[in-house]
Structure 1
Amino acid sequence: MKTNNLEFESSLTVQQLGQTLNGAYSRLRATVEPVENSSNPLDTLGGSPDIAVVGMARGLVGGAWGVHAYVNDVGPHRHVELVALGDSGFSRAFNGIRNTISLGKSSEKMAQIAEDLRAADRNLRSL
């Protein structure tokens, strides 16, 4: 699985960021689910994020996309990371476009979610 990501520092609360993300995913008609916890105990050494979700949707003729969103409360601000997901070119060729996730489409949706965050937090800072 290939990925592309954006990171931000926000002055909004975890709850406000959750509401903004929920609105963005709803606007994009995504199904939102929690990110599955890893079975690797080393993955939790940095602590669990306050929000860890994935929004996904399928187009009528393929064009499926997925974007993870992570929010961590780090005291005076919140760290937000958006991760666009996509299958490798080999996987897309082997499994067909309808059964895979497009990194390009996911990156496009990630940018739209980032715009919703910028609209909600005028002090949002890219990292």
Structure 2
Amino acid sequence: MKSEESTYSTKLDIGQIRQVLRSALGNASISNLQFDALDEQPDFGFAAEKSGLVGGSSAIQVHVNDIGEQRHIGFVALGDGGFARAWSGARNSVSLSGSRKLVATSVEALKRADSALTLIG
């Protein structure tokens, strides 16, 4: 499975970030992230998975770190490309392009709440 990461900086507080993302992710299934005991854990994080209309699903991980007056929001889009999905059966796979769209939807919602949202990585 492939992954693509992006990180944004915002002045929204963690409560506001939760509200915006809950609304943006709609009916996605939300679950806790699992960490190794040696991993550096974020202040807040979750995984979201959303079923596609024609089979397959989209999946992202979100982690938020409180850095003084700013919060850094990391998104990880997960999934396989079209060829790998076709090979394994699209109905039982995670779409990287669908996951990218889920990240984009989340980022757009955050931009509406904080026009100063900035891509930092």
Query: Is 1:43 the equivalent of 2:43?
Result: no
CA displacement 1:10-47 (0-9 Å, x = unmatched): 10111111111111112xx2111111223xx3323xxx
**2:31 corresponds to which letter in structure 1?**
E
Say what the alpha-carbon RMSD is for the aligned residues.
1.7
Mind listing any 5+ residue stretches in structure 2 that lack a counterpart? none
Question: In the alignment, which of 101, 104, 111 is matched to residue 108 of structure 1?
Answer: 101
- Tell me by how many angstroms 1:73 deviates: 0.3
**1:102 corresponds to which letter in structure 2?**
S
The alignment of Structure 1 onto Structure 2 pairs a total of residues equal to 120
In structure 2, the residue matched to 1:6 is 6
Kindly, what percent of the aligned residue pairs are identical? 37
Mind listing any 5+ residue stretches in structure 1 that lack a counterpart? none
Structure-2 separation of matches of 1:73 and 1:86 = 28
Question: In the alignment, which of 54, 57, 81 is matched to residue 74 of structure 2?
Answer: 81
Question: In the alignment, which of 56, 70, 75 is matched to residue 49 of structure 2?
Answer: 56
Structure-2 separation of matches of 1:93 and 1:4 = 20
SS for the counterpart of 1:36 is coil
When the two structures are superposed, what TM-score results if normalisation uses the length of structure 1? 0.85
When the two structures are superposed, what TM-score results if normalisation uses the length of structure 2? 0.88
Question: In the alignment, which of 88, 105, 123 is matched to residue 116 of structure 2?
Answer: 123
